Amino acid sequence: MHATDEFGPERIVQVYDRKSGARGVLVVDNTAIGPGKGGIRMVPDVTTQEVMGLARAMTWKNALAGIPFGGAKSGIAADPRKVDKAQIIAGFARAIAPYIPGMYIAGPDMNTTEKEMADFANALNNPKACTGKPASMGGLPHELGSTGFGVAHSTKVATEFAKLNISGATVAIEGFGNVGTFTMKHLAQMGAKIVAISDSKGTAYLQTGLDYQKAMDTKAQNGTITAYPGANGLKSEELFSLPVDIVIPGARPNVIHEGNVGSIRAKLVIEAANIPMKPELEEQLAKRGILVVPDFVANAGGVISSYVEHIGGTKEQMFKMVEEKVTSNTKQVLSATTAAKNPRQAALEIARQRVLDAMKK
């Protein structure tokens, strides 16, 4: 038996498609606000319990984002390096077809991309079956940088609450993938000074500031940001202890942990990545007067982009909605934060209330 509560899950669907051999699970957590939205991850050891947790996180994330989507998630038990992904995705789509799109709208996640979303939609002959599709199918692809754009706007709001000026504020960004690069681009346009960036090879630190285009060129030409001309090369984990105003974990989970949380000197931590630290560590930072903007507040640009794609909107409409909603929701969460209630608790309270209100209706 799996644990349930007043919010859900509404459906746990374990599936097997004989034709492709696809095995997986769909968890529709809550559809009070709208159809459940969440990505498909493809990993060999995916579990129902894991997918349930992710589906619940999407319920809160979509509610807080202020879009008419509920929470859901799905997982396919397969090694993406050893299977025909197109065949497996199509088989999974056929197996969960009765729930699409009324109860579930898919999207990319771990080991699934816009290509798999095209395969998913084509298997059902329904472009509304998922988001994250190629632009040729009416999609708003990841390459537009909606998440990093939203992170930058969430950061701007947080600096106002922390009584910092975004112009000239020093920033360290962990991770220089899609989220990190676009976060850097938009923060630089706002006047922030990005002094440190890390990737898997290490950290590039330059007190006078790193140039966005030069950083992009360095990464493209050398395969690592640590080759940035004139920058000091540090270990990846040293980024978190640098004397900066803002730290943005933007890649891996649990990069802030018991071993380094005490060394953070920033005034603000903006969680661009999912679960970059445990909630109890956020509480520790709050007690030290460090303001933490939780992941599902700061990085909601991606799900907002998914909604705009779902309703057939343009990239211009998407950027406008991401800015408006991320700005508004960050303000609401930080305004509700008190000495007794940290930002994550405030955000969850707002999200839960929105879902409860929808359930009553």
For residue 339, name the pLDDT band (cuts at 50, 70, 90). confident
Residues 199 and 128 in one domain: no
Instruction: Give a yes or no: residue 83 inside a domain.
Output: yes
Residues 235 and 275 in one domain: yes
Instruction: Give a yes or no: residue 361 inside a domain.
Output: no
Instruction: Give a yes or no: residue 294 inside a domain.
Output: yes
Q: What is the pTM of this model?
A: 0.92
- The domain tally of the chain equals 2
Does the pLDDT value for residue 319 go beyond 70? Answer: yes
Q: Is 73 an active-site residue?
A: yes
Does the pLDDT value for residue 1 go beyond 80? Answer: no
pLDDT digit string (tens) for 111-136?
Answer: 999 999 999 999 999 999 999 999 99
At residue 96, the pLDDT reads: 96
Instruction: Give a yes or no: residue 317 inside a domain.
Output: no
Residue 28 and residue 74: Cα distance in Å, rounded? Answer: 8
Instruction: Give a yes or no: residue 206 inside a domain.
Output: yes
Residues 240 and 129 in one domain: no
Residue 176 and residue 201: Cα distance in Å, rounded? Answer: 11
Instruction: Give a yes or no: residue 255 inside a domain.
Output: yes
| CATH code assigned at 73 | 3.40.50.10860
Instruction: Give a yes or no: residue 150 inside a domain.
Output: yes
Residue 100 and residue 245: Cα distance in Å, rounded? Answer: 45
Pick the closest to residue 282 from 297, 270, 299, 300 (CA basis). 270
Whether the link from the prior residue into 294 is cis, omega within 30° of 0, is no
At residue 3, the pLDDT reads: 80
At residue 361, the pLDDT reads: 86
Q: Name the CA radius of gyration of the chain, rounded.
A: 20
Residues 75 and 179 in one domain: no
Residues 122 and 177 in one domain: no
Instruction: Give a yes or no: residue 312 inside a domain.
Output: no
pLDDT digit string (tens) for 226-261?
Answer: 999 999 999 999 999 999 999 999 998 899 999 999
- Mean pLDDT value across the chain: 95
Does the pLDDT value for residue 219 go beyond 70? Answer: yes
| CATH code assigned at 253 | 3.40.50.720
For residue 17, name the pLDDT band (cuts at 50, 70, 90). confident
At residue 18, the pLDDT reads: 86
315: exposed, middle or buried (Cβ count in 10 Å: 0-12, 13-18, 19+):
middle
Report how far Cα 308 is from the mean position of its chain's Cα atoms: 16
* Mean of pLDDT values over 75-96: 94
* Mean of pLDDT values over 311-318: 96
DSSP letter string over 256-307? Answer: S-TTTGGG---SEEE--SSSSS-HHHHHHHHHTT-EEE-HHHHTTHHHHHHH
Domain that residue 195 falls in = 146-301+329-349
pLDDT exceeding 70 applies to what percent of the chain? Answer: 100
Between β-strands 22-30 and 70-77, what pairing exists: parallel, antiparallel or unpaired? antiparallel
Q: Report the b/e string of 114-147 with b at 16+ CB within 10 A.
A: bebbbbbbbbbeebbbbbbbeeeeebbbbebbbb
Residues 260 and 340 in one domain: yes
Of 37, 61, 73, 219, the active-site residue reads 73
pLDDT digit string (tens) for 341-355?
Answer: 999 999 999 999 999
Pick the closest to residue 112 from 83, 145, 71 (CA basis). 83
Side-chain-facing half-sphere of 339: CA atoms under 13 Å: 0
